[in-house]
A = this chain, B = another copy of it.
C-alpha cells in the first residue's frame, strides 16, 4: 500500500493490504477494469485507507483471478457472475457448471464455423482480384456490389 519498499516490485508487504495497482498487476489487468467490476457487482467493495485508497486482501485477488480466467475463456460477465455464485455453494451439485461450460463451448464452436465460412468467402473474393486493375473493373468491388 502507500508504503512501497525500495526494490519491491509488487508492493506487497507481509500482512499488509494490496493497492488497486498491486491487485491489477497480480491479476494481469488494470485498475480501471477492477473499478468497473466493483461497480458491476462482481467484486466486493473493499475497505479503504485513511486517504481513501482501496485496500484489497488475498481473497479479492483470488476472486479477481477467477474472473479474469473466465473472461479470458470468453465467458460473458453475466456468465462469470453465475459461475462465481455456483462456486461459492460447495454442497451444490455441479451439473449446472457443466451445463454452462458446455453451452459456452458450443457457442464458441459455432462462432468458429461462422468465421471459417466468412474467411472462405473472403478468399474467393480476393482470389478474383489479380494484378493491377482500376476500380472500374475491380473484381472485389464487383463482388461487393449487388446485382
Please list the residues of chain A having a beta carbon within 8 angstroms of any beta carbon in chain B.
61-62, 65-66, 69-70, 73-74, 83, 86-95, 97-98, 101-102, 104-105, 108-109, 111-112, 115-116, 118-119, 121-123, 125-126, 129, 132-136, 138, 140-141, 144-146
Select one of B73, B89, B102, B121 contacting A118, CB under 8 A: B73
Least distance between A39 CB and chain B CB atoms (Å)? 22
Interface contact B94-A132, CB-CB below 8 Å: yes
Interface SS majority for chain A: helix
Residues of B within 8 A of A95 (CB): 132
Provide a sorted-by-A list of 25 A–B residue pairs whose CB atoms are within 8 angstroms. A62-B145, A62-B146, A73-B118, A73-B121, A74-B118, A83-B141, A87-B141, A90-B135, A91-B134, A91-B136, A93-B134, A93-B135, A94-B129, A94-B132, A94-B141, A95-B132, A98-B140, A101-B129, A102-B126, A104-B122, A105-B119, A105-B123, A105-B126, A108-B118, A108-B122
